[in-house]
């Protein structure tokens, strides 16, 4: 089912400072910030040869990052995103196996405009998993 590691996401309290750290201290190529109001985040992608780092800052009053950053005020690794060939089939298979699909349970467009969904961290070794349609 899962394929490439599409990105590793880091939630941060200050996106501009985090972007500057990766660009200036680590010499990384970084994207412009992209507000994603329907997801309650603003994203910056750090381009790596073999995957991406997604820097995430809360956007709006009820961002899903809010409580995470209360627990981790300096920021922290937030989720892993794996690519799948068929997100609808993957969702059905996972639900049948008892995995909790977060939100409405239906895939919706993510940062790359492709359908994404999220699996409850308590069902996957304490790790929030995002699946993105390849
Ligand atoms: C633009 C889209 C972009 C993309 O790449 O396409 C994105 O990635 S958007 C990313 C932001 N959106 C989401 O994360 C959506 C899915 N997330 C959620 O629905 C929530 O974050 C949720 C339900 C996973 C957690 O919400 P919250 O922290 O408010 O809930 P709790 O405080 O009740 O936590 C429950 C339980 O889970 C543990 N937890 C929470 N977040 C994480 C995490 N990121 N990794 C690991 N564990 C997590 C939390 O500690 C609680 O555990 P407990 O033992 O009960 O204390
Ligand atoms: Co993501």
Average pLDDT for 60-73: 97
| Cβ of 124 less than 6 Å from ligand 1 | no
- Residue 130 annotated in active site: yes
- From the candidates 32, 38, 57, 130, give the one annotated as an active-site residue: 130
DSSP conformation letters of 56-105: EEE-STT-TTHHHHHH-TT-EEEEEEEEES-HHHHHHHHHHTTPPBPTTS
Question: Residue 117 CA to chain centroid, in angstroms?
Answer: 10
Q: Tell me: the pLDDT tens digits for 77-109? A: 999 999 999 999 999 999 999 999 999 989 999
Catalogue all structural domains in the chain, each as residue range(s) with its CATH number.
2-133 (3.10.180.10)
> What's the gap in Å between 119 CA and the centre of ligand 1?
9
| Cβ of 52 less than 6 Å from ligand 1 | no
Report the alpha-carbon distance of residue 15 to residue 43 in Å, rounded.
8
Does residue 124 contact residue 130 with C-beta atoms inside 8 Å?
Answer: no
**Residue 38: DSSP 8-state:** T
Q: Tell me: the pLDDT tens digits for 7-66? A: 999 999 999 999 999 999 999 999 999 999 999 999 999 999 999 999 999 999 999 999
| Cβ of 116 less than 6 Å from ligand 1 | yes
Q: Is the pTM of this model over 0.90?
A: yes
């Amino acid at each position: 089912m899962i394929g490439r590691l599409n990105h590793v996401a880091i939630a941060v309290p200050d996106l501009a400072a985090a972007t500057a750290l990766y660009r200036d201290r680590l010499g990384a190529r970084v994207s412009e910030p992209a507000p994603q109001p329907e997801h309650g985040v603003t994203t910056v992608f750090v381009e790596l040869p073999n995957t991406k780092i997604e820097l995430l800052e809360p956007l709006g009053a009820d961002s899903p990052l809010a409580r995470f950053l209360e627990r981790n005020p300096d920021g922290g690794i937030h989720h892993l995103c794996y690519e799948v060939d068929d997100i609808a089939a993957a969702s059905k298979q996972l639900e049948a196996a008892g995995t909790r699909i977060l939100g409405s349970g239906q895939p919706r467009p993510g940062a790359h405009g492709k359908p994404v969904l999220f699996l409850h961290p308590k069902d996957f070794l304490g790790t929030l998993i995002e699946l993105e349609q390849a």
